Amino acid sequence: MASLTVRGCALCTVSLLNVAFVFISGADFVRFLSFRAIYHNITGETTLCEDSVPWSVALRDSSVLSSLAVDLGLLALFTTQHSLLAWSPVKEALQTVLGPLNRTAYCFTTALALQVLMRCWQPVTGAPCLWSVRHVPWSIWFPLLCFTLHFLCWAIIFSIFMIFDYPELLGIKQVYYECLGLGDPLSHKSPHAQRLLSHLRHPVCLELGVVLWLLPALTLDRLLLAGTLSTYLALAHSLDKQDLAYLCVQLNSKVQLLAEPHRGSGDTAADNHKEK
């Protein structure tokens, strides 16, 4: 019993430390994608691009090409990590080795890859912007509009993660179930829920697309970042009619639950069980 307790405490400690690291990395990612780019436009402290340089010259500039090569390598690192560890043979092998910490390891390596990408990213300032809002009054109002929409999109994204069983996504529930001897939490979900999760592990495509593309100025490196991540998100899920039907059923059940607040707690618990 003592060994089990020590093992459980060790698993919980590793899982909670990982959640803290993922949370910090997520906050850094918000700053990297949204606030840094918009802040530059509002303050005008730094030059994001060089419009006086023709594209024919910029695309032959060694500094521009080297920066793009570094950025492309960083994106390849992130997408390779994110896809390789989600590949079934690799996932099964890691599950055998790591057990309940498999999802924790996936989240940790994802956050680590994001940290490497953000800290080593090379802005391309020696090429023209693809677009740039610089004329008054839009040079003031459009960045503020972008800031507002980015804030709303991130709020929606984090709300979706809260609804989408974030303890299971972050690996906390796997450790909790292991300590209680309940097995894999995914096995307790209905076949429809398991099918949906296998097709849609990134339930934030539209909102993240707005964050990636809606900016006062679009630089060449941002085009590479937005284009790569948008393509990756588009290829990362494969929703079909059965998944959409399941989502509609769950949405209707939530609406009915909100419309009937007088229902007993026993009915609510039964509904929550059916959702999973």
Q: Per-residue pLDDT tens for 139-172?
A: 778 888 999 999 999 998 887 777 667 788 888 8
The answer for residues whose C-beta is within 8 angstroms of residue 85's C-beta and 6 or more apart is 91, 94, 105, 106, 109, 110
Ranges assigned E (strand) in 3-75: none
| Residue 275 or residue 92, greater confidence | 92
DSSP category for residue 46: S
CA–CA distance, 21 with 9 (Å, rounded to integer): 18
User: Is 38 part of a structural domain of the chain?
Assistant: yes
User: Is 54 part of a structural domain of the chain?
Assistant: yes
How many residues belong to the chain? Answer: 276
Backbone angles phi, psi at 256, to 5 degrees: -65, -35
pLDDT (mean) for 61-67: 93
Backbone angles phi, psi at 215, to 5 degrees: -140, 150
User: Is 254 part of a structural domain of the chain?
Assistant: no
CA–CA distance, 68 with 40 (Å, rounded to integer): 20
Range of the domain at 115: 2-188+205-237
Domain count, the chain: 1
At residue 138, the pLDDT reads 77
CA–CA distance, 261 with 250 (Å, rounded to integer): 17
CA–CA distance, 117 with 270 (Å, rounded to integer): 44
The pTM (predicted TM-score) of the whole model is 0.79
Cross-strand bridge partners of residue 218: 131
User: Is 156 part of a structural domain of the chain?
Assistant: yes
At residue 171, the pLDDT reads 86
Q: Give 104-146 pLDDT, tens digit per residue.
A: 999 999 999 999 999 999 999 889 988 888 777 777 788 889 9
* 48 three-state secondary structure: coil
On the question of pLDDT at 46 being above 70, the answer is: no
At residue 49, the pLDDT reads 79
CA–CA distance, 124 with 134 (Å, rounded to integer): 19
Ranges assigned E (strand) in the chain: 131-132, 217-218
User: Is 120 part of a structural domain of the chain?
Assistant: yes
User: Is 264 part of a structural domain of the chain?
Assistant: no
Among the listed residues 35, 123, 19, 32, the one whose alpha carbon sits nearest the alpha carbon of residue 71: 123
Q: 264 pLDDT band (50/70/90 cuts)?
A: very low
User: Is 199 part of a structural domain of the chain?
Assistant: no
User: Is 262 part of a structural domain of the chain?
Assistant: no
Mean pLDDT of the chain: 80
At residue 241, the pLDDT reads 59
Q: 266 pLDDT band (50/70/90 cuts)?
A: very low
